[in-house]
Each structure stands twice: as structure tokens, then as C-alpha cells.
Amino acid sequence: MAKIGILTCLYSNNVCARVGCLKAFNSRTGHFTEYGPDDELAALMTCNGCKSWREPAPSEDQELLEKVERLSKEEIDVVHVGVCSVHHGKECGRMTELCGLIEEKGIRVVRGTH
Ligand code: SF4
């Protein structure tokens, strides 16, 4: 059984109810086609926001590091990253850094949900 997490941009909270991501996971469509009926969605998280209102970089943000640690402790196998992390055709640098921190824990990161 795979344990799956979804990671999204904090700003997307303003406009997003995660319906697209959850619908894709539940129907095993989009970027979730590889999973079987026993694989479970076990984590939902956002980044901790942009530098303009939260100074520490992801690698120095103790609360964000706590969230990454929790993914590891819960034995999350793979984290899917929402398209909301892409701005003007490029992945947000803070999100890229956060994904690297997740990968350092041995967790696979997949760009894409629905
Ligand atoms: S740091 Fe990037 S991913 Fe996080 S809220 Fe800001 S734009 Fe979104």
C-alpha cells in the first residue's frame, strides 16, 4: 500500500478547495493513474508562504521542517505537487527548495496532481 501526500501553494488557499486534486486522486486520473484501490491519501500540506511575509527560506523554517519530518515519520511514499506551484510557466523557487527537502527524506516527489 502506498501512502500519498499532496503539496500545494499556500496562496492557492485563497481560491482553491482542493477539489481538482482530490477528485483526480479518488478517480485515479491525472497523475494518480499508477495507484491501486488500497493506496491512500495520507497527507495534505501547503508551503509556508512567500518571503514577503515569511522570511526564513524553507531550509531554515523550523515549522516547515517539522511538516517535512512528519511526512517522513508517517512513512509517506510519494508527494504530488499541485500545478499551483507554477507561476508564469516556472515552478516557484521556494517550492523547488521544499521539494528538495522532501526528497532528502527519501520521499519521491511527482510534479502534478490533476
Ligand atoms: S512560496 Fe511559492 S508556492 Fe509558496 S505561497 Fe509563495 S508562490 Fe506559492
Cell reading at 65:
521542517
Q: Hey, which residues does 86 pair with through a beta bridge?
A: 91
Please state, in angstroms and rounded to a whole number, the distance separating the CA atoms of residues 106 and 83: 22
> Which of 85, 91, 96, 113 gets mutated to test ligand 1 (max ligand atoms within 8 A of its CB)?
85
Please state, in angstroms and rounded to a whole number, the distance separating the CA atoms of residues 30 and 67: 26
Q: What is the mean pLDDT of residues 52-75?
A: 97
Q: Which amino acid is at 16?
A: C
Q: What is the mean pLDDT of residues 3-23?
A: 96
What share of the chain has pLDDT > 90, as a percent?
A: 98
Task: Name which residue sits closest to atom 4 of ligand 1, judged by CA.
Answer: 49
Domains of the chain, start order: 3-111 (3.40.50)
Model confidence, pTM = 0.96
pLDDT at 53: 87
Task: Show the ligand 1 pocket: residues with CB < 6 angstroms.
Answer: 9-11, 47, 49-50, 85, 92, 94-95
Could you tell me if 14 and 46 are in contact, meaning their C-beta atoms sit under 8 angstroms apart? no
Please state, in angstroms and rounded to a whole number, the distance separating the CA atoms of residues 79 and 14: 22
Question: How remote is the CA of residue 4 from the centroid of ligand 1, in Å?
Answer: 21
